[in-house]
Structure 1
Amino acid sequence: MPRQSISFSKPNDEWLNFQIDSQEYSSKSELVNDLIRQARKQQVHIDWIRAKLEHSERSGFTSDTKEQILKQSKSLLNG
């Protein structure tokens, strides 16, 4: 596995350390790899949603632009 050296801001390092201390993860490497896996999965979902929105926009299903729909979706998620 390739090794990397990365720097964290103080708040991020504190959060990472808290996760390790709470035994949620055994190391920062495990935690960072898990975060990257989650981000990659999320990107797959975002790409799927974007494709569906573009298809709907082209088909005339909606008059909203994909930017408008994404903005509405984000505001609903952020509540």
Structure 2
Amino acid sequence: MILSFLFFTFVAYLIFKLVFDFIIPVYKTTRQVKQKFRDMNEQMRGQQGQQASQNNQPKNNTDKKKSTLGEYIDFEEVKD
């Protein structure tokens, strides 16, 4: 009789630990990860919308301006 009570108490403890130390944290983490993915997806959609609206606007003449610094010349080390 006492052995069955101890056995059922031990099984109840294991179930309690499983639920509160594994199942609930996994559920909460999964929910948070899904929310973060939704937030990132909405942010990307907003950025794509902004880019699309910017592409529709006329471009400035900044592309036609040339740099006054000159050309870039590769540097090669000369060994003696």
**Scaled by the length of structure 1, what TM-score is found?**
0.43
* Higher relative contact order (Cα pairs below 8 Å, separated by 6+ residues): 1
Q: Which protein shows a greater Rg?
A: 2
